[in-house]
Amino acid sequence: METVLVTGAAGFIGSNLTKTLLEEGYRVIGVDNFDDTYNPQFKEEQIAPFLGDTNFVLYRVDIRDIPALTEVFETEKPSYVVHLAGKADTRKAVDTPRLYTSVNIDGTLNILELCREYPVENLVIASSSSVYGNSSQVPFTEDQPADRPISPYGATKRAIELLAYSYHHNFGMNITCLRFFNAHGENNRPGMVPYIWTEKLLHGEEIEISGDGSRKRDYTYVGDIVRGIILAMKKPFGFEVINLGNNTPVSLNELLAIFEKVLDRKAKVKSRPSHGASVEVTCADVSKAKRMLDWTPTTSLEEGITRLVVWFRASRFTQ
């Protein structure tokens, strides 16, 4: 049985990944510090289903705590590491940049160092579409310049890609950085638009649309992202950066129409100013993922939003 260490295992993508890995017969070591970026109780609920599984071990460890993290590697000697732990809010990063560099960059450096000390077959690192900033070259391809992120968050993600390359170069480590594009689905992170709208619309509350609603996002179903992570994990390439997106950008206005259809109700909407650290459009070119991982997204946005709503009603909805 192969052992996968998943950092950020209690989070949105991490809990979905943990579920699938356990279903596929892997032993999973979860590392998470249940930070308070959003309600830690949500993370407790997301990890709870695995706690009784003999193939799952949880370490409540901060990735910046080098002795504690070293102990995890020394004890578990994982075959693979999927590094998802991090601070992920584009806008909050503008106000708390030190926190973002500390967790995202220093934390990732600790993972790189430990994967060097305790060699793994492959290390997969969560990067982000935010590395592309406000690039007008759409769809975004992995080889276009990504040196103008507009949030410190995007800058930390680009920085860890660069650090990762240097570890590949100097120590021959297999590392794949995956640039995720706007995940949505079960266990959705609360700060994200699909979650906020689900909550508000189910309560009959007014929702806010930034600007004129024309801002576009390449919403990608979390199950598709999880499939891509596992495919990438099992295929060491040396070093690669690969987009995992939907290649179908949708405006906020179009997203709203999907919500109204799924929920069969008309939304009350008000406009608010766009945040300066929010990009105008994200759109992934996914031909590299197709070519190298044989991965394509298969879940339509309407299906993904339907699953998000079903999950929210069952798990988070309170009258």
Q: Which residues bind ligand NAD (CB under 6 A)?
A: 8, 10-14, 32-35, 37, 43, 62-64, 84-86, 88, 103, 107, 126, 128, 180, 182-183, 189
Number of residue whose CB is nearest ligand NAD: 11
Of 115, 93, 124, nearest to 244 by C-alpha is 124
In contact, 13 and 189? CB cutoff 8 Å: no
**Opening angle at CA 177, ends 171 and 180, nearest 5:** 170
Pick 101 or 205: Cβ nearer ligand NAD: 101
Neighbours of 154 (CB within 10 A): 24
The amino acid present at 247, given as its one-letter code, is N
- Of the two residues 88 and 230, which places its CB atom closer to ligand NAD in the complex? 88
- Amino acid (one-letter) located at 26: Y
In the complex, the smallest distance separating the C-beta of residue 265 from ligand NAD, rounded to whole angstroms, is: 26
Q: Tell the smallest beta-carbon distance from residue 56 to ligand NAD (Å).
A: 15
| Structure-block tokens of residue 80 | 């693979």
Give whichever of 271 and 315 is closer to ligand NAD, judged by the CB atom.
315
Query: What is the nearest approach in angstroms of ligand NAD to the Cβ of residue 306?
Result: 18
Q: Are 311 and 190 in contact (CB under 8 A)?
A: no
| Rounded least distance, CB 190 to ligand NAD, Å | 9
Q: Cα–Cα distance between 213 and 210 in angstroms, integer? A: 6
**Which of 153, 167, 219, 221 is flagged as catalytic?**
153
Close Cβ partners of 312 (under 8 Å, ≥ 6 residues apart): 188, 195, 198, 199, 202
The candidate with the shortest Cα–Cα distance to 156, out of 99, 78, 223, is 99
Strands 216-217 and 250-251: antiparallel
165 is catalytic: no
- Please say which residue, 193 or 209, places its beta carbon nearer to ligand NAD: 193
In terms of CB distance, is 33 or 198 closer to ligand NAD? 33
The one-letter amino acid at 316: R
Shortest Å distance, C-beta 37 to ligand NAD: 6
DSSP H helical ranges for 234-276: 252-263
Q: At its nearest, how many Å lie between ligand NAD and the CB of residue 254?
A: 18
Rounded-to-integer distance, Cα 268 and Cα 125, Å? 39
Residue with tokens 């660069």: 162
List, in sequence order, the alpha helices (H) in the chain.
12-23, 40-47, 66-76, 90-95, 97-100, 107-117, 152-171, 193-202, 222-233, 252-263, 287-293, 301-315
Residue closer to ligand NAD, measured from CB, 11 or 133: 11
Positions marked catalytic: 153
